[in-house]
């Protein structure tokens, strides 16, 4: 028996790829959430830079300020009768707002300003229009009497 032939030359070995690098976390396009406090008067907002995390801390509205402004608005329909009531409620609401963490200062101021303005101008306007109507009726009555007297 003859000796086995040596195997033919093997093709050159292909270099193996280098070992894979460990997986890195994805790069964030936005910075990590940072809190930003914005203060406007007595209203404080806390906002986060990420879009899904926005918090807002709001103070409640002063109910008396809302009622005062509505009363002044209704005074237009009552020819100014409710206007002084709305103005006084606005003054009370402003006093309440000094010691409380509530919003509504603008509504209370508007009620005071409009309330006292309507208290003066709406009755004057009503009186002026009423006087015009009365004078027109007197003129018409005089013309009718003049027609019947002649």
146 or 73, higher pLDDT: 73
pLDDT for residue 126: 80
Decide: 66 and 90 in contact? Cβ < 8 Å: no
Q: Return the domain boundaries, the chain.
A: 63-139
Task: Quick: pLDDT tens for 35-77.
Answer: 555 555 555 555 444 444 444 455 688 999 999 999 999 998 8
* Burial letters 24-40, b for 16+ CB under 10 A, else e: eeeeeeeeeeeeeeeee
Residue range 83-132, pLDDT digits in tens: 999 999 999 999 999 988 889 999 999 999 999 999 888 878 888 888 88
- Residue bearing the bigger pLDDT, 2 or 27: 2
């Amino acid at each position: 028996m003859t000796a086995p032939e040596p195997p033919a030359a093997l093709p050159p070995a292909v270099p193996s790829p280098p070992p894979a690098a460990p997986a890195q976390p994805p790069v964030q396009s936005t910075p990590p959430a940072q809190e930003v406090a914005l203060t406007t008067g007595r209203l404080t907002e806390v906002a986060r830079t990420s879009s899904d995390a926005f918090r807002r801390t709001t103070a409640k509205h002063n109910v008396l300020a809302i009622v005062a402004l509505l009363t002044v608005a209704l005074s237009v329909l009552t020819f100014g009768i409710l206007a002084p009531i709305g103005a006084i409620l606005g003054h009370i609401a402003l006093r309440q707002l000094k010691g409380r963490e509530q919003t509504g200062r603008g509504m209370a101021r508007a009620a005071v300003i409009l309330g006292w303005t309507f208290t003066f101008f709406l009755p004057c306007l009503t009186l002026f229009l009423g006087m015009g109507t009365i004078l027109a009726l007197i003129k018409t009555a005089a013309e009718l009497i003049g027609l019947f007297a002649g």
